[in-house]
Structure 1
């Protein structure tokens, strides 16, 4: 059984060949320059094989945040298109790391702020290094350990306060390792991917929305059973009639009732058919379905009549992408969402 919930590959052949999986891909094994002593340079040239950045997707992140009708902005976010600078070392087979995250706080902003400031730093320390034969297994372990450590560190800090902090936060984090995105999430914030698929007959493409995360709320059977086994109850769709999510960072008073900080993990290889990812708190998805959010962004990106076709050649300018992100968040508020709304739009583009 695989370690992650893999998402489907494109079902149609693309005009530009998508990147294949790392296994057996000779195109990703290229000779690179390396530092060498004079003696080494006189020896027969040695080919060092590793994944190079050429051919990897270019990622750009844009964020829009709205307080809504709440008294306080309790959301937090992180955009790190290049995470390599935080790494003391990493597997030789990895060329680039990117990290994007949305944290939706409740009961205060301290848990979401703490997670935004610390989770990626902990991940950088726990990420596998050196030669890694089972890289995917080690990435999974590093993500699970990072969430556990972040939760424990916050709870330790929260319990030391007078009075103790009762803040909690959801988390949806996208870690992009070369051309593969690993999404770790807990709570009800979400991540979705827009992929353009070829239609039968005419050469047009239609958008397909891939869900990269899984919501955790007490009404779900497995979540409710875990809470009840721990001695908690679910009333009115909430833990003890109060907490809306069944997994979170923080919420120390509910940890004994079966609320956990173990994230759901999913993996998806990015292809030339992919256009963008959306990471957002439930403030967006209370008034947008995943499909509606993707189509709304596509409509803003269109340079033509707004039909659901592949965006035009100018769709990926920073100005247009930022506008799409801002308009999506503003539209959520206009539709009546009274909650905080935070949206991260991540463009995915491959060089020709």
Structure 2
């Protein structure tokens, strides 16, 4: 089975766009002021802000037809004692990548990490994965960019896992944390999603209904593949490695079959090799949702897309929401809040990425 599955090819071309630089950090609490402070700190520490003249130069060389990507995030602790999720938003990751393929003019990165057994694995992955990715990133003239990006992502996940396990095993007592990962790398208008575990990424695409040019209906496209021990291929790998699956869990304990960390389960077939999906964005695409399983315990993918679309439609008629950015921000926050209201006791982290051609 090829890990690198293509999604449907685009049917229409887009228009001119420019990048937006936003960088929230991993959320520790629901307090908004604290979260803003953490965001500013991560922004200072992670990647340097692009100076105005550099941004102008980037726009000059940026290929026409690229979408504007804007990221919004909402994090809720739920009923848990600790916030174990983390997230990173880099709509302009170009400043982190020292060199990139000659045919790529812009790089974006969004990721959500759902920790279990503690928050150390998710925070470690949030802090290090994109830096490792930048170091391994393809550069110069490339004949097969897809193949190189695939290798880069697989190597990055393996390296991040090895680095965390080395640090975890050196602690007294050893850390036993683990984390799922769903990250989205966007090269110009091509999306690559790499995921481990049960966090998900879904794309909302508006498609013509019944051939009528003016009427479109939303279609939800899965950009990730869930990994849990009840899936046949996952269970077989675990059993071949000498592990067992009881009550839908590895050794009756771990709910996911792939993750960063979880050193005590690596000998039982739990791996850090991600599934990869590729999708070219089109002018029919509205947004992408990346979220931990806390959201999808109470929302189906279709329901989450419809919920966001309904708020965007209502926001367009609400004079208090003066622009599209405010509408998307409201949709992201309300989606996370609604997940808690529906009874999800787990941490909930939602990243909403708007796509605007």
Q: Does 1:334 align with 2:344?
A: no
Match of 1:325 in 2: 332
Indicate if the aligned counterparts of 1:213 and 1:265 stay in contact, CA closer than 8 A: yes
Match of 2:289 in 1: 278
Give the Cα–Cα distance (whole angstroms) in 1 for the partners of residues 152 and 241 of structure 2: 26
Give the Cα–Cα distance (whole angstroms) in 2 for the partners of residues 254 and 118 of structure 1: 22
What does the per-residue CA deviation read over 1:122-164, in whole Å, with 9 as the maximum and x for residues that have no partner?
A: 0000010111111111100000000000000000000000000
Change (3 A) 1:189 1:169: same
Give the CA deviation at 1:9: 3.1
Give the CA deviation at 1:304: 8.3
Match of 2:129 in 1: 119
What does the per-residue CA deviation read over 1:158-214, in whole Å, with 9 as the maximum and x for residues that have no partner?
A: 000000000000000000001000000000000000000011154210000000000
Larger radius of gyration: 1
Give the Cα–Cα distance (whole angstroms) in 1 for the partners of residues 316 and 355 of structure 2: 23
Q: Does 1:343 align with 2:354?
A: no
Match of 1:34 in 2: none
Aligned ranges 1:115-264 → 2 under 5 Å? 115-200=125-210, 202=212, 203-264=214-275
What does the per-residue CA deviation read over 1:188-247, in whole Å, with 9 as the maximum and x for residues that have no partner?
A: 000000000011154210000000000000000000000000000000000000000000
Match of 2:4 in 1: 4
Give the CA deviation at 1:8: 1.4
Q: Does 1:109 align with 2:116?
A: no
Indicate if the aligned counterparts of 2:316 and 2:327 stay in contact, CA closer than 8 A: no
| Coordinate RMSD, CA, aligned | 1.9
Indicate if the aligned counterparts of 1:190 and 1:214 stay in contact, CA closer than 8 A: yes
Indicate if the aligned counterparts of 1:315 and 1:321 stay in contact, CA closer than 8 A: no
> After the TM superposition, which of the residue ranges 128-137 and 336-345 deviates more from structure 2?
128-137
Indicate if the aligned counterparts of 2:3 and 2:275 stay in contact, CA closer than 8 A: no
Give the CA deviation at 1:51: 7.6
Structure whose residues are more often helix by fraction: 2
Give the CA deviation at 1:303: 4.1
Give the Cα–Cα distance (whole angstroms) in 2 for the partners of residues 201 and 123 of structure 1: 42
Indicate if the aligned counterparts of 1:51 and 1:94 stay in contact, CA closer than 8 A: no
Match of 2:71 in 1: 61
Aligned ranges 1:66-77 → 2 under 5 Å? 66-77=76-87
Indicate if the aligned counterparts of 1:78 and 1:101 stay in contact, CA closer than 8 A: yes
TM-score normalised per structure 1 = 0.85
Indicate if the aligned counterparts of 1:127 and 1:142 stay in contact, CA closer than 8 A: yes
Q: Unaligned 5+ residue runs, structure 1?
A: 20-49, 307-313
Give the Cα–Cα distance (whole angstroms) in 1 for the partners of residues 221 and 323 of structure 2: 20
What does the per-residue CA deviation read over 1:290-339, in whole Å, with 9 as the maximum and x for residues that have no partner?
A: 00000000000004899xxxxxxx89621111000000000000000000
Q: Unaligned 5+ residue runs, structure 2?
A: 16-59
Partner-residue secondary structure (3-state), 1:197: strand
Match of 1:33 in 2: none
Indicate if the aligned counterparts of 1:67 and 1:339 stay in contact, CA closer than 8 A: yes
Aligned ranges 1:90-101 → 2 under 5 Å? 90-101=100-111
